[in-house]
Structure 1
Amino acid sequence: MTTRIVLDCDTGSDDAVAIMAAALHPELELIAVSTVNGNVALPNTTENTLRVLDHIGVKVPVHAGAARPLVRPDFPVPRHILNADNPDFQIDYLDLEPSTTEVRPGSAVQLLIDTFLVPENDDVVLVALGPLTNVALALIAEPRLAAKIRKLVIMGGAHVGGNVTPTAEFNFWVDPEAARAVFSAGIRDIVVVPLDATHSAPLTATDCEEFHALGTPAGTAASALIRHRIEEQLEPETAAVPVHDALCIAYLVRPDVITASGSYHVDVETSGDRTLGQMIVDTRPWSTAPVTATVATAASAEVFREVLRDAFGNGA
């Protein structure tokens, strides 16, 4: 039995790996993709998504979503400052042709509402790999939506140590108000895959070689994408890198890829000079706060690479 999924993403390199895994793994059925402002501006995340799908020969509806955060005009540190050294980053080093597929009419927000309000889609899982702006907007626009989403898997947050700041992970930091709105909406099953889990299951140059050896468009592209991440490290010869978003896809196929987790009350800080965007996980045994999410804290790199090999080997 396959799991049907909708991806909401801000396609940079790790999203691209996740999209290919979701589109090609035989146990998954990718039914739609929505794009959001995040790793790069919305036009680029959308074009990146279309190029990746074209590259692997998969036709899936793609809808563009929010071009800015829920309430803020820009990132907490504006994009032109944060990305001053690389403002137009796409995945051009893959040499992918410009997309020949058109983005679908209608917003990503309407896509989410229309998809999850339909009774025959009550088995669909929503996977959010970027800032949670689209998801929050959909929940605000349609109050019935929270009860209709069977499961939401989120790549975001960090229980211990951020990446864009010492306390915050990028996706939650970009739009903390959206993240808070999603956790407080009452969705019955939220699984968060934060940096704690993704950093515990890194991939290596050897994995890149194995993906490339599969001889498929997806294997070759994934190899190049992950190798690019490795080469950006301070010591690339020995580096192993997290491929954050793709771990969420592996979880859908092999839940045992997550080796440690707990169910907690989760919130996101929306103010503070040092704590903006921080994921707050209430681990106190005596806490009376309602449980809002399952939070993964560790993962298996071995299971992760097995899932990716199965997906990328399935490409034509």
Structure 2
Amino acid sequence: MVNGDSVKDSVLIVDTDVGFDDLFGIALLISHGVKPALITTVHGMASTKMAASTVRRLLAHCGQPTVAVVQGAERGLDGSKGGSIADQEWGADYRKQFERFMHSAAFPREDEETSVPSSCGVQGAADAIYERAKSAPEGKCKLLCLGPLTNLAVALDSYPDLPSHVEVVVMGGAVRAPGNAAGNAELNMHLDPVAAQKVVHSGIKLTMCCLATANESGKERVVEAFGKLGSQQLAPAGDAMRALVQEMPSASCYDPVVCAGLLSRKIWETEAVTVCVNAATGETTERLDDGGARIALAVGFSVDEYVDVVMRGATAGR
């Protein structure tokens, strides 16, 4: 079981492509007293370089400027220019809005006091993931993947013993729900299908929170709850969450649902299933035979509990 209060006693690594929802999820974890041991960035929603800088600014705003941030993979394992949303109209618009938001956000600018030196490139991220996982107490390291699985795939290739040191929780897949990318895939899986197939079929202990659970079901409730707070002064993490939702209401969807599930066992449960990932498209399908990978699939989604966890974090220390 990877969801629930145990995350507060874990060594938590976050691998993220840093969209609005990633930032909301990271702020949510911090608002509940969970300090990531390491954050690695990966291609996807934001450019990798901007993603690392953005995460450091968020961490500084939330009072955690010393968390190590490592800039990771800039593209998928197939070596193409894939793994970017920028060549799609909606993706280009998303990045422009994200860049405008970060330009005006009241987060500290990077300087010598808020910036932590980071390695660059997919191998640097893979090395950092392995070293942090290996140094953690046995059974205590969790890797939360909120974007394409490129960094983790390279880490598995480089360090065959990595599965013995870490449990993985993935926001990705469309096992029991329609996909949101080409080929009926979920976007994170689609942006690097080769890595997705490699990771899911590697045998590593993995919980998948797919679109059947990590979706927009709670969006209106969260927006309404933050609206009721008005301009009340919040602790820094709560302030960041409010700003993100005001800019992009769906910031409270997808990745934060996975993060919240690590904080409360009541948000989603898990079921053992067998799945296959298509290495060409990233489509993830459930199998009724043994011809696939055995994983834990997050099932169910308690919107009431999710909203409660979000708002308790947002108003903590007020």
Q: Normalised by the shorter chain, which TM-score bucket?
A: 0.7 to 0.9
Report the TM-score, using the length of structure 2 for normalisation.
0.84
Moved over 6 A (4+): none
Which residue, 47, 54, 57 being the options, matches 1:48?
54
Offset, 1:48 = 1.4
Residues 29 and 84 of structure 1: is their aligned pair in 2 closer, same or farther, counting only changes over 3 Å? closer
AA aligned opposite 2:75: R
Aligned to 1:209: 227
Tell me, what secondary structure is at the counterpart of 1:289?
coil
Q: Structure with the greater relative contact order (CA < 8 A, sep ≥ 6): 1 or 2?
A: 2
* Aligned equivalent of 2:188: 171
Unaligned runs of at least 5 residues, structure 1: 231-239
Q: Is the contact between residue 12 and residue 39 of structure 1 (CA under 8 Å) also seen in structure 2?
A: yes
Inter-CA distance 77–47: structure 2 relative to 1 (3 Å threshold)? closer
Cα deviation for residue 223 of structure 1 reads 1.8
- 1:70 corresponds to 2:77: yes
Matches within 5 A, 1:112-131: 112-118=129-135, 120=137, 122-131=139-148
Q: CA RMSD in A?
A: 2.4
Instruction: Name the residue aligned to 1:293.
Output: 295
Aligned position for 2:29: 22
Looking at structure 2, the residues matched to 73 and 269 of structure 1 have their Cα atoms a distance apart, in angstroms, of: 17
Equivalenced residue count is 296
The TM-score normalised by the length of structure 1 is 0.84
Aligned to 1:191: 207
Q: Which residue is equivalent to 1:303?
A: 305
- Where do 5+ consecutive residues of structure 2 fail to align? 1-5
Aligned to 1:155: 171
* Other structure's SS at 1:192 match: strand
Q: Is the 8 A contact 2:183 2:283 kept in 1?
A: no
Aligned-pair identity in percent equals 24
Counterpart Cα distance in 2 of 1:308 and 1:132: 26
CA distance in 2, matches of 1:33, 1:226: 22
Deviation of residue 210 (structure 1)?
A: 4.8
Q: 1:211 to 1:294 in 2, by over 3 A?
A: farther
- C-alpha separation between the residues in 2 aligned to 1:141 and 1:296? 28
**Which digits, 9 at most, give the CA deviation of each residue in 1:94-142, with x for residues without a partner?**
3434223224333221111101122526401110001111111101111
- Which residue of the partner structure matches residue 269 of structure 1? 278
- The letter for the 2-side match of 1:278 is E
Contact preservation (8 Å) 2:31, 2:238: no
